[in-house]
Structure 1
Amino acid sequence: MPSYALLVEYDGTGLVGWQRQPNGLSVQQVIEEAASHLNAGVAPLATASGRTDAGVHAEGQVVQLAVSAELPPVRLRAALDFHTRPHRIAIRGAAFAAEGWSPRFSAVQRHYRYRVLNRAAKPALEEGRVWHVPLPLDAGAMHAAAQLLLGRHDFSAYRAASCQAESPLRTLERLDVVRVGEEVQILASARSFLHHQVRNLVGTLHEVGLRRRPVEWPRAVLDGRDRRAGGQTAPPQGLTFLRVDFPEPPEWS
């Protein structure tokens, strides 16, 4: 049975996240049910490079599944893209998966972007895609604070209470804060992230941006290893899983 890699884009609004849940519709369920049309009516297991939460979006999620119908990747892509309708989930590319390849364990870097709409007026066109913060944010101070968090640390202060990772140790390779017009964007890269890590980092940097806390405060929170000492968990709609890097990336069709 051939195994395929998929490049997937989705709007997480109204979905319960990547993983199947007892209640609500997940991205995983939509893709597996679409793939059942190519697998003798049986929904195959789809695994992803990252489990996004409810309301979180993706531009370059990578998924693996095996189906009984051996199709060229370009035809598989088109068929799956058709069967995911009417959901806002697009199959952007497909490729044969190499033996032993895994979208989760073969990944060497994952990249996220968090968008904050920083203006007085609420969003209209971008509703559900940004966190609206009407008070002015100091992006320069947020960026300076973010640089103090880079490297390998115990990120207990920035993980969700429900996080199931065995270790809180993570290596944060990038955490940049930039202003792009009316938006403040936070760009984060690491091999792997803890549950809610990016959203908790954003919520804590938000306090610095409002000048309620000094630049050094997020690092003090990190060193204290107490989630209760940090800022809020930023809402999910501003977060997008941008892409995942592999040593030998699939050749998408």
Structure 2
Amino acid sequence: MGIEYDGSEFSGWQRLNKRGTPERRHEPTVQAAVEGALSFVAGGPVDVVCAGRTDAGVHASAQVVHFDGPAGREPRSWVLGASSRLPPSVCVRWCVPVTDDFHARFSARARRYRYSILNRPVRPALQRQYLSWERRALDAGAMHRAAQALVGEHDFSAFRTVHCQAPHPRRQLHEIRVIRDGEVVAVEVQANAFLHHMVRNIVGSLLLVGRGEHSESWVGELLAGRDRTVAGPTAPSAGLVFLGPRYPAQWGLPVEVELAEAAP
């Protein structure tokens, strides 16, 4: 199942309470909302497994989950039935049957994110929940060139939060691009997996390069130094969108979550 959500009003993806108990006060999660909607359609408890957890305030255009549901329901029934029980900030975009050996997390070969920055002197009014804001001029070209030092398999300790629970800091970053479209500077990044706050920490450092406070070579130096305390600050969550995982074509999923031929 492919799910789209605005994360502004949620405390992240992951359910904070035990299954079947009320959510913590003022801490709604996307997972709890989705499971509640699917359970209504199924007529019984449904637990979902997602491709990648998102933090509070982070959005997703194609989060992928898998679940075991009762036989006999068509994909269209799941899509319409679940969406009718979800808040306006969450919808089910598509649903397809898969074989028992598919796993939303472990079958994925990559994940992709986009971070969007409004670069102008005045803060945004429209689309503000989907944009970070930087009033000082950014050199997107310098940011892009600096970011290329991150491509490949590396120890990303310099861009890992102290709260990260991953067993090791090595990740393979397939691609990173920094592009400007008018007043918006976007950072798009794809890797086999990400550490906690890794994308936002990378963006925070690239912003310092874009503002001219550090040279383009600085990002590579940070990577080699593996010291989070000397890297840039964590960028705000509002600008980050999870574009979704990427799977081999064998699973027959929609093309937006299919692994491109050129990707590792």
Aligning the two structures, in what range does the TM-score lie when normalised by the shorter sequence?
A: over 0.9
Decide which of 9, 14, 26 is 2:9's aligned counterpart: 14
Matched, 1:184 2:218: no
Shift of 1:224: 0.8
Shift of 1:127: 1.1
Shift of 1:65: 1.4
Amino acid in the other structure paired with 2:4: E
Q: Which residue of 1 aligns with 2:56?
A: 54
**Structure 2 CA distance for aligned equivalents of residues 36 and 243 of structure 1:** 24
What percent of counterpart residues are identical? 41
Amino acid in the other structure paired with 1:115: S
What runs of 5+ residues in structure 2 fail to find an aligned partner? 18-23, 255-264
**Structure 1 CA distance for aligned equivalents of residues 83 and 3 of structure 2:** 9
Question: C-alpha deviations, 1:104-135, integer Å up to 9, x for none?
Answer: 00001111000000011111111111101011
CA contact (8 A) 1:109 1:192 kept: yes
Shift of 1:148: 1.1
Q: Which residue of 2 aligns with 1:3?
A: none
Q: How many residues align?
A: 245
CA contact (8 A) 2:143 2:216 kept: yes
The alignment's TM-score, normalised by the length of structure 2, stands at 0.90
**Structure 1 CA distance for aligned equivalents of residues 149 and 75 of structure 2:** 44
Going from structure 1 to structure 2, the CA distance change for 1:146 and 1:251 (only over 3 Å counts) comes to closer
**Structure 1 CA distance for aligned equivalents of residues 149 and 253 of structure 2:** 37
CA contact (8 A) 2:5 2:89 kept: yes
Which 4+ residue blocks in structure 1 deviate beyond 4 angstroms? none
Q: Which residue of 2 aligns with 1:90?
A: 91
Amino acid in the other structure paired with 2:80: A
SS in 1 for 2:190: strand
Shift of 1:251: 4.1
**Structure 2 CA distance for aligned equivalents of residues 55 and 72 of structure 1:** 32
1:16-165 to structure 2, matched below 5 A, reads 16-22=11-17, 23=24, 24-42=27-45, 44-68=46-70, 70-84=72-86, 86-165=87-166
1:199-214 to structure 2, matched below 5 A, reads 199-214=200-215
Shift of 1:80: 0.8
**Structure 1 CA distance for aligned equivalents of residues 155 and 123 of structure 2:** 36
Amino acid in the other structure paired with 2:14: Q
**Structure 2 CA distance for aligned equivalents of residues 70 and 114 of structure 1:** 40
